[in-house]
């Protein structure tokens, strides 16, 4: 075996394809692609933990400073993973990205990598359960002070962000009641005191996210959701400036071990190819489902940010240009009626993922948010009849018929 002589196009005959003028759909197909000497069409899975150096001197040089397309160990760099990082960074509009083993590795990595004992963080209260655990249990255990606010209330953000606040964190659309946090307004408040803005934008999807243009400094995704889009693999990603990603996040992730595997990155790369088409089709179907359900006497409320009745419909249009792919509705009759409804569904599956090609219903009060005290469920609007629906890629008419059959079974 002769290693590629240095200076010649070695294992990778072409650097990553990157053209910032490309439009989203083109970027989703081509951005970041790297090809080996075989010129393979599809992105290769570099299922390798390490890389062979042509000499001891080359190994030394790479450990001092790796070149732009050089890797050392898959925990902090692999060609397939880097393709995915380059592609998602282009879509999000950030300089760089770091791919992680799950969405939670991304949330905890983004926060813990930059925080230390004595720092102050402000966070919205309506969070995904595990995000709440990171902020409420983990960070405070290590001496970080966390203030929780009602994410919708700008006055609360203004009061909580004080000079010295290190970071603010929020999910731009809350789970499961789909309340929006105004990214532009909260970023302005946070930047006024010098805080870094970290947004978990899963519910907005990377397609409807304009978080960076609206002021966010760091955007995290669970790629398990829309980016995979077929419910196959766990993954996550942190998007930000090159200084933040390579200077703050990478050293932390590299030593604590929450990186994405090359096989997962390959799944996510393939998911990205159809991400725009899928998110738009799902959002269109979600809007049709929401309109069909709105006003139904068996429901006490239908929550969809694309409906005029949503109290933040204007903000949704401004911030996302879409109502998104998720909706929620409250079944009159509470838990028993909600369960009868769910059990009667044929197409729509009972599960707790979202952003999948398969439509999914969730009963938050007894599953994802089961462990919250009743008082907190009430504060968050998680009533016994509340159903969360992640709209998939099925025909909207079939979904509406399935939902109607479910409602008839109440
Ligand atoms: C699913 C989800 C996460 C966690 O992602 P995993 O990939 O399951 O670890 C974090 N935040 C939000 C908003 C999510 O929906």
Of 394, 312, 316, 333, the residue nearest 361 (C-alpha): 394
Q: Give the relative orientation of helices 262-273 and 275-293 as an angle to the nearest 10 degrees.
A: 60
- Per-residue confidence (pLDDT) for residue 17, from 0 to 100: 72
Domain encompassing residue 367: 280-408
Looking at the domain assignment, is residue 59 inside a domain? no
Q: Are residues 217 and 300 in the same domain?
A: no
- Rounded to two decimals, the pTM is 0.95
Strand 120-124, strand 96-100: pairing: unpaired
**Ligand 1: which residue has its CA nearest to atom 2?**
222
Cβ atoms of 357 and 229 closer than 8 Å: yes
What would the pLDDT profile of 312-326 be if each residue is shown by its tens digit? 999 999 999 999 999
Q: Which residues pair with 97 in a beta bridge?
A: 239
CA 91 to centroid of ligand 1, rounded, Å: 19
Does 285 lie in the same domain as 267?
no
Q: What Cα–Cα distance (Å) separates residue 373 from each residue in 123, 256, 381?
A: 19, 33, 12
Residue 56 has a pLDDT of 98
Long-range Cβ contact pairs of 359-363 (< 8 A, separation 24 or more): 359/389, 359/390, 359/391, 359/392, 359/394, 359/399, 360/389, 360/390, 360/392, 361/387, 361/388, 361/389, 361/390, 362/176, 362/387, 362/388, 362/389, 362/390, 363/335, 363/338, 363/339, 363/387, 363/388
Residues 6+ apart with CB under 8 A from 305: 173, 178, 180, 312, 313, 316, 320, 323, 324
Q: Is 384 found in the same domain as 315?
A: yes
Is 102 touching ligand 1 by the criterion CB < 6 Å? yes
User: Are 216 and 350 in a shared domain?
Assistant: no
pLDDT tier at 371, thresholds 50, 70, 90: confident
Ligand 1 centroid distance, CA of 224 (Å): 7
pLDDT in tens, 148-200: 999 999 999 999 999 999 999 999 999 999 999 999 999 999 999 999 999 99
Residues 188 and 89 in one domain: yes
Whether 319 and 240 share a structural domain = no
Task: Examine the domain organization and report whether 331 and 378 are in the same domain.
Answer: yes
Answer yes or no: is 18 within a domain: no
Q: Indicate whether residue 324 lines ligand 1 (CB < 6 A).
A: no
Is 57 within a domain? no
Domain membership flag for residue 380: yes
Q: Supply the mean pLDDT for the chain.
A: 94
Domain membership flag for residue 52? no
pLDDT band, residue 3 (cuts 50/70/90): very low
Phi-psi group of 327: left, alpha or beta (phi > 0 → left; psi -120 to 50 → alpha; rest → beta): beta
Band of residue 4 on the pLDDT scale cut at 50, 70, 90: very low
Q: Which of 100, 104, 169, 218 to mutate to test the pocket of ligand 1 (most atoms within 8 A of CB)?
A: 104
Ligand 1 binding pocket includes 222 (Cβ within 6 Å): yes
Would you say residue 21 lies in a domain? no
Where are the alpha helices (H) located in 118-241, listed in sequence order? 129-133, 139-141, 154-160, 183-192, 205-208
Confidence band for 7, pLDDT divided at 50, 70 and 90:
very low
Angle at 237 between CA 136 and CA 183, to 5 degrees: 65
Residue 58, domain member (yes or no): no
Looking at the CA of residue 104, tell me the nearest atom of ligand 1: 9
DSSP class of residue 210? Answer: -
Which CATH number characterizes residue 333's domain?
Answer: 3.90.1150.10
What pLDDT, on the 0 to 100 scale, is given for residue 19? 63
Q: Is the distance from the beta carbon of residue 175 to the nearest atom of ligand 1 less than 6 Å?
A: yes
Domain boundary among 236, 253, 273: 273
Q: Are residues 167 and 263 in the same domain?
A: yes
- The residue assigned the tokens 């010649």 is 8
Total number of domains in the chain: 2
pLDDT tens readout for residues 89-138: 999 999 999 999 999 999 999 999 999 999 999 999 999 889 999 999 99
Asked if residue 91 belongs to a domain, the reply is yes
Q: Are residues 247 and 357 in the same domain?
A: no
Find the radius of gyration of the CA atoms of the chain: 22
Residues 176, 317, single domain; the answer is: no
Looking at 238, 273, 308, the residue that finishes a domain is: 273
Task: Indicate the top mutation candidate among 128, 229, 328 to test ligand 1's pocket, ranked by most ligand atoms within 8 A of CB.
Answer: 128
Q: Say yes or no: 362 and 250 in one domain.
A: no
Q: Is the CB of 99 under 6 A from ligand 1?
A: no
Confidence grade of residue 12 (pLDDT, cut at 50, 70, 90): very low
- List the beta bridge partners of residue 303: 328
Segment 253-266, tens digit of pLDDT: 999 999 999 999 99
How far apart are alpha carbons 391 and 355 in whole angstroms?
Answer: 7
Q: CA–CA separation, 219 vs 382, rounded Å?
A: 26
Same domain, 293 and 367: yes
* φ, ψ at 358 (rounded to 5°): -90, 130
1 has pLDDT over 50: no
Q: What is the CATH number of the domain that holds 220?
A: 3.40.640.10
Which ligand 1 atom sits nearest the alpha carbon of residue 127?
Answer: 13
Four-residue CA torsion sign, 386, 391, 396, 399? negative
Residue 174 Cβ < 6 Å to ligand 1: no
Nearest-CA residue for ligand 1 atom 11 is 128
Instruction: Indicate the pLDDT class of residue 14, thresholds 50, 70 and 90.
Output: low
Crossing angle for the helix pair 334-344 and 396-408, nearest 10 degrees? 130
Minimal-distance CA residue to ligand 1 atom 1:
222
Last residue of a domain, one of 256, 273, 290: 273
Percent of the chain with pLDDT over 90: 92
Give dist(CA 356, CA 279) in Å, integer. Answer: 10
């Amino acid at each position: 075996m002769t290693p590629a002589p240095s200076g010649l196009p070695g294992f990778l005959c072409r650097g990553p394809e990157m053209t910032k003028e490309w439009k989203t759909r083109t970027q989703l197909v081509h951005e970041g692609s790297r090809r080996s000497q075989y010129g393979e069409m599809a992105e290769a899975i570099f299922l390798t933990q390490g890389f062979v150096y042509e000499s001891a001197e080359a190994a030394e040089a790479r450990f001092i400073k790796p070149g732009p397309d050089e890797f050392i160990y898959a925990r902090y760099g692999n060609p397939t993973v880097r393709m995915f990082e380059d592609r998602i960074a282009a879509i999000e509009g950030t300089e760089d990205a770091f791919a992680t083993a799950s969405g939670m590795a991304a949330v905890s990595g983004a926060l813990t990598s930059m925080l230390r004992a004595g720092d102050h963080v402000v966070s919205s209260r309506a969070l995904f359960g595990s995000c709440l655990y990171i902020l409420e249990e983990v960070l405070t255990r290590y001496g970080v002070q966390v203030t929780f606010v009602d994410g919708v209330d700008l006055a609360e953000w203004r009061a909580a962000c004080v000079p010295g606040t290190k970071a603010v964190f929020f999910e731009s659309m809350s789970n499961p009641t789909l309340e929006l946090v105004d990214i532009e307004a909260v970023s302005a408040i946070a930047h006024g005191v010098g805080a870094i803005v970290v947004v978990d934008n899963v519910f907005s999807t990377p397609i409807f996210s304009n978080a960076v243009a609206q002021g966010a400094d760091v955007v995290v995704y669970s790629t398990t959701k829309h980016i995979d889009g077929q419910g196959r693999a766990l993954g996550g990603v942190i998007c930000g400036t090159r200084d933040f990603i390579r200077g703050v996040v990478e050293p932390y992730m590299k030593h604590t071990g929450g990186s994405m595997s090359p096989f997962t990155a390959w799944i996510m790369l393939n998911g990205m190819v159809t991400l725009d088409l899928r998110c738009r089709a799902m959002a269109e179907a979600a809007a049709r489902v929401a309109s069909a359900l709105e006003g139904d006497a068996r429901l006490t409320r239908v929550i969809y940010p694309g409906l005029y009745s949503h109290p933040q419909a204007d903000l949704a249009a401004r911030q996302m240009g879409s109502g998104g792919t998720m909706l929620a509705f409250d079944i009159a009759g509470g838990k028993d009626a909600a369960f009868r409804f769910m059990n009667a569904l044929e197409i729509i599956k009972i599960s707790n993922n979202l952003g999948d090609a398969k439509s999914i219903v969730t009963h938050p009060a007894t599953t994802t948010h089961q462990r919250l005290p009743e008082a907190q469920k009430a504060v968050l609007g998680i009533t016994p009849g509340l159903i969360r629906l992640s709209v998939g890629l099925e025909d909207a008419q079939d979904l509406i018929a399935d939902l109607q059959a479910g409602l008839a079974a109440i």
